[in-house]
Structure 1
Amino acid sequence: MHTIWKGSISFGLVNIPIKLHSAVEDKDIKLRTLHKECHSPIKYEKVCPVCNVEVKPEQIVKAYEYTKGKFVVLDEDELEKLRKDKEEKAVEIIDFVKIEEIDPIYYDRSYFMSPGDNGAKAYSLLRKALSEAGKAGLAKIMIRSKEQMAVIRVYENTLVMETIHFPDEVRSALDVPNVPEENKITKKELDTAILLIDQLTTEFEPEKYTDEYRSALMELIEAKRSGQEVVTAAQKEVKANVTDLMAALQASIDQTKPKNETTATAKKRTPAKRKLKKEA
């Protein structure tokens, strides 16, 4: 399992070397965009709309647009300094909370945590303590140049780190348009709705839920592939280059031969004319 971050987690005087591994994987089917005429993959280039030229990576700078068309340019060295100042590899658990107190709207991404070198015992201690206390740890961590809040909890005998959004990143529910106020609901309507919910209530078994669209799309792709409904990208025409040294020399000789022969013939004829004139 690929390691995406290495560092340590501490609570109190206990320091735990750990590694982070992505706990989820994106299984979306990636579709390429082709040119309809020749089925070649489309290229996406960075082009300046004013200069109308392709921009190379070294010509690109980052900036913050504080108002339409107005930017504050940020130097890469300045950004790197900020990252290093915040990218402290020792992450301290600052609080412990009950996991049910955190609304799911805050959750972002999940990472498995494994112990680093000589960290197995401290890892086991934190795992056991969190499990027994029924709590989760809150910490701050810098991942991929972004400071994030994180929840550390136990999942199937493994420590998991869940990055969560900061409060100002979660929009207010009061801003959602057209949300109705409390309407008059009859007792019969409410009882019927609750009965229906009770009848459909079951234990959560994630294995029985599948991505039906993804499965159907893969079936369609396989059916087309099996039926040879496939296309091949057109190859870009490459101009023939003379790479063989002898061929290049011969080509050069052939190009100059007619001119040399004409010159040689002219030189041979000139002395003959002069000789005849002298004899006359």
Structure 2
Amino acid sequence: MHTVWKGNLTFGLVSIGIKLHSAVEEKDVKLISIHKDCLVPIRHEKIAPGCDDDAIEPEDIVKAYEYGPHQYVILNNNELDALKKEYEVKAVDIMSFVQLEEIDPVYFDRSYFISPTPGSEKAYLLLRQALERTGKIGLVKISLRSRQHLAIIRVLDDCLILETIHYPDEVRTVDQVPNLPDADQFTIQTKELVAAITLVNQLTVRFDPEAYQDEYRSALLDLIELKIEQEDIVKPVINPNRDLGSIMEALSASIEQTKPAPKKPARTKKASL
């Protein structure tokens, strides 16, 4: 499992060497855009409208913040790197402990499994058992993906897991939601409420994540496999008058499209982590 972060987690005076591993694997089906006639992948060039240059080179691109209409302040890489270095969290300190129920799910962002580095297994186990016995979660700050995050540490089965959460100013408030009905505007009959509660109770089950799947993704993959089996595929037409660059792009696309389709792995039930 790929390591996305490595460092120390401090629990009071106890230091635990840890590694973070992404707990989520994106399963989107990647589709690309190609030209419908010659079947060459579309290349999106960076341009500046109104500029004399046809295409912008990477070295000509700088970071800026628009503080007013068409008014920018430019931030160079040295300034940004210095700021990131100053506020980078290299060691994760548990600042406090809270109840998980106190944090609304709207705050949660990404999840990472935590594993101990060699020699830190006992301290890791100590923290895990302490969280299990108290029912608490740890509140920390950590630097991931070039920014500082607020996060919590909790127990999932036999593993510690870190979940980044949004800062309060990143979460919109309920009063910004339009057209919310007021309870004084409508009269809910007792029999209507009883019927609704009865329906909720009848549909209540224990949550089993294995019982759900992305039906659209499965159907899309089935459609793609069917087209491959029926040889309903297309090959790019190469125009000999094109320049070498365009021909090489078409050849590269042809090589990719004529590769043997990978065998579909047998579906097995995921083991509990």
TM-superposition CA deviations, 1:6-38 (whole Å, max 9, x none): 111112101111111100011011111110111
Judging changes above 3 Å, is the alpha-carbon distance between structure 1 residues 19 and 238 closer, same or farther for their aligned structure 2 residues? farther
Deviation, 1:119, is: 1.4
Amino acid corresponding to residue 33 of structure 1 in structure 2 = S
Match of 2:155 in 1: 154
- Partners of 1:142 and 1:153 lie apart in 2 by 18
Give secondary structure in 2 for the equivalent of 1:109: strand
Q: Confirm or deny that 1:99 pairs with 2:100.
A: yes
Match of 1:37 in 2: 37
Match of 2:15 in 1: 15
Judging changes above 3 Å, is the alpha-carbon distance between structure 1 residues 239 and 192 closer, same or farther for their aligned structure 2 residues? closer
- Partners of 1:118 and 1:236 lie apart in 2 by 62
Alignment TM-score, normalising by the size of structure 1: 0.83
- Partners of 2:85 and 2:47 lie apart in 1 by 31
Judging changes above 3 Å, is the alpha-carbon distance between structure 1 residues 135 and 71 closer, same or farther for their aligned structure 2 residues? same
Greater CA drift, 54-63 or 156-165:
54-63
Determine what percentage of the aligned residue pairs are the same residue: 52
Give secondary structure in 1 for the equivalent of 2:123: helix
Judging changes above 3 Å, is the alpha-carbon distance between structure 1 residues 199 and 86 closer, same or farther for their aligned structure 2 residues? same
Amino acid corresponding to residue 181 of structure 1 in structure 2 = D
Greater CA drift, 149-158 or 224-233:
224-233
- Do 1:16 and 1:123's aligned partners in 2 also have CA atoms closer than 8 Å? yes
Match of 2:124 in 1: 123
For the aligned residues, what is the CA RMSD?
A: 1.6
- Do 2:89 and 2:148's aligned partners in 1 also have CA atoms closer than 8 Å? no
The count of residues paired between Structure 1 and Structure 2 equals 241
The equivalent position to 1:231 in structure 2, one of 210, 226, 234, is 234
- Partners of 2:146 and 2:110 lie apart in 1 by 15
Deviation, 1:100, is: 1.2
- Partners of 1:181 and 1:197 lie apart in 2 by 22
Match of 1:75 in 2: 76
- Partners of 2:240 and 2:172 lie apart in 1 by 53
Match of 1:207 in 2: 210
Amino acid corresponding to residue 56 of structure 1 in structure 2 = E
Deviation, 1:240, is: 10
Amino acid corresponding to residue 236 of structure 2 in structure 1 = A
Deviation, 1:233, is: 3.1
Amino acid corresponding to residue 11 of structure 1 in structure 2 = F
- Partners of 2:188 and 2:101 lie apart in 1 by 29
Match of 1:196 in 2: 199
Deviation, 1:53, is: 2.1
Deviation, 1:208, is: 0.6
- Partners of 1:189 and 1:200 lie apart in 2 by 17
TM-superposition CA deviations, 1:124-156 (whole Å, max 9, x none): 111111111100000111111111100100001
Q: Gaps (5+ residues) in structure 2?
A: 245-273
Amino acid corresponding to residue 25 of structure 2 in structure 1 = E
Would you tell me which structure has more helix in proportion to its own residues?
1
- Do 1:41 and 1:233's aligned partners in 2 also have CA atoms closer than 8 Å? no
Match of 2:133 in 1: 132
- Partners of 1:46 and 1:240 lie apart in 2 by 21
- Do 1:130 and 1:136's aligned partners in 2 also have CA atoms closer than 8 Å? yes
Deviation, 1:76, is: 0.2
Amino acid corresponding to residue 121 of structure 1 in structure 2 = K
TM-superposition CA deviations, 1:173-210 (whole Å, max 9, x none): 11100110012100000000011111111110110101
Give secondary structure in 2 for the equivalent of 1:44: coil
Deviation, 1:235, is: 4.6
Deviation, 1:238, is: 8.1
- Partners of 2:74 and 2:52 lie apart in 1 by 19
- Partners of 1:203 and 1:239 lie apart in 2 by 61
